[in-house]
């Protein structure tokens, strides 16, 4: 039984109506269209009538014993054929994603975590699911959060303690890592073993981009010691900062993970009042965890546990 649209609601063209129209136009007969569809001839006639009502144009006319398309109907035939051809591609397109080891996961993170933490869990996830497609994008925390909110990113690994007033995002703390000082080797014997904010006051500072969460944490550490940092350079890449420090152009505060591979022209120092940044996983609260996403999350958590054992400065916070 056909249903009448609610008052004020615009009726929509249905696939059933389009199939009835196309088969009638091709066969010149509503009865033949009905046999092809496995329905009665009156049912086909009703579908045609409803389609003409929705489109507000006559599509089929009777010429003798045949039912032929009007000029408007002839103009519709090819677009309708293309529409059904496109529908035929839906099943083949989604079929691979029914396989247990197939899927797509889009991960957003910062460049430092991407270089120094994620290669191992990404490689293991790929090895466990060879047909899994992993897409990684980098950006500041605010950019990644926006991507997760909009659905452009499936999961983020970001520097964040909390996300205020954002009930649509679930946040899971993964691990904390210290910020440490790096300085040119020539200064090795000119600074103490553990640095205070005032130890930087006479040195050229090369700091991370002020748009990044890591910069906020570094600035906060300086302020606790009564120092207002005035950097000579601000860069968006920790790796670029390391190169410039190694060239003797200044000193910096960087995440401890980034100090695993440094040239011998750079010296690493811990801070007298340790300061940490917290890395967290973020997902939409309504996100469906398919097999690919579950595999990646599991490998990230496992790598964080391993990191706790290898680097005492980086610790999984199990108390929060």
Q: How far is CA 75 from CA 3, 11, 69, 235, in A?
A: 28, 21, 9, 59
Specify the pLDDT at position 241.
95
Phi, psi of 200 (to 5 degrees): -95, -5
Contact call for residues 23 and 13 (beta carbons, < 8 A): no
Specify the pLDDT at position 293.
92
60-63/169-184 β-pairing? unpaired
Which residues, at least 6 apart from 154, have a Cβ–Cβ distance to it below 8 Å? 105, 106, 107, 148, 283, 287, 293
* Segment holding 158, helix H or strand E: strand 155-159
Q: Which residue has the tokens 């073993």?
A: 193
For residue 283, give the 3-state DSSP assignment. strand
Specify the pLDDT at position 113.
92
pLDDT in tens, 246-260: 999 999 999 998 998
The two tokens of residue 156 are 């983020």
The two tokens of residue 319 are 């108390």
Specify the pLDDT at position 319.
31
Low-confidence ranges of the chain (pLDDT < 70): 1-10, 95-102, 165, 310-320
pLDDT in tens, 178-212: 999 999 999 988 888 899 999 998 899 999 988 88
Contact call for residues 187 and 263 (beta carbons, < 8 A): no
Specify the pLDDT at position 317.
37
pTM as predicted: 0.64
Residue 111: Cβ-neighbour burial (10 angstroms; 0-12, 13-18, 19+): middle
């Amino acid at each position: 039984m056909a249903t009448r649209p609610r008052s004020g609601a615009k009726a929509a063209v249905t696939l059933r109506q389009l199939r009835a129209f196309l088969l009638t136009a091709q066969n010149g007969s509503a009865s033949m269209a009905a046999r092809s569809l496995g329905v009665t001839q009156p049912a086909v006639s009703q579908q045609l009538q409803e389609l003409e009502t929705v489109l507000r144009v006559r599509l089929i006319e009777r010429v003798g014993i045949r039912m032929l398309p009007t000029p408007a109907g002839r103009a519709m035939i090819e677009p309708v054929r293309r529409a059904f051809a496109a529908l035929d591609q839906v099943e083949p397109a989604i079929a691979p994603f029914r396989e247990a080891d197939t899927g797509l996961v889009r991960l957003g993170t910062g460049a430092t975590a991407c270089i120094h933490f994620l290669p191992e869990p990404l490689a293991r996830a790929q090895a466990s699911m060879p047909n899994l497609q992993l897409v990684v994008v980098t950006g500041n925390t605010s950019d990644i959060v926006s991507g997760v909110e909009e659905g452009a990113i499936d999961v983020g690994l970001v520097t964040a303690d909390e996300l205020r007033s954002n009930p649509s995002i679930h946040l899971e703390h993964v691990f904390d890592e210290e910020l440490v000082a790096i300085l040119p080797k020539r200064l090795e014997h000119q600074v103490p073993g553990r640095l205070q904010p005032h130890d930087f006051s006479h040195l050229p500072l090369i700091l991370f981009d002020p748009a990044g969460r890591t910069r906020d944490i570094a600035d906060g550490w300086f302020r606790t010691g009564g120092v207002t940092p005035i950097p000579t350079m601000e860069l968006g890449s920790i790796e670029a900062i390391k190169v410039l420090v190694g060239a003797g152009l200044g000193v910096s505060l960087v995440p401890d993970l980034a100090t695993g591979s440094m040239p011998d022209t750079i010296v690493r120092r811990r801070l007298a009042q340790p300061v940490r940044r917290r890395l967290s996983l973020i997902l939409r609260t309504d996100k469906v965890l398919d097999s690919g996403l579950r595999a990646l999350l599991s490998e990230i958590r496992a790598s964080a546990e391993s990191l706790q054992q290898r680097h005492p400065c980086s610790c999984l916070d199990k108390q929060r």
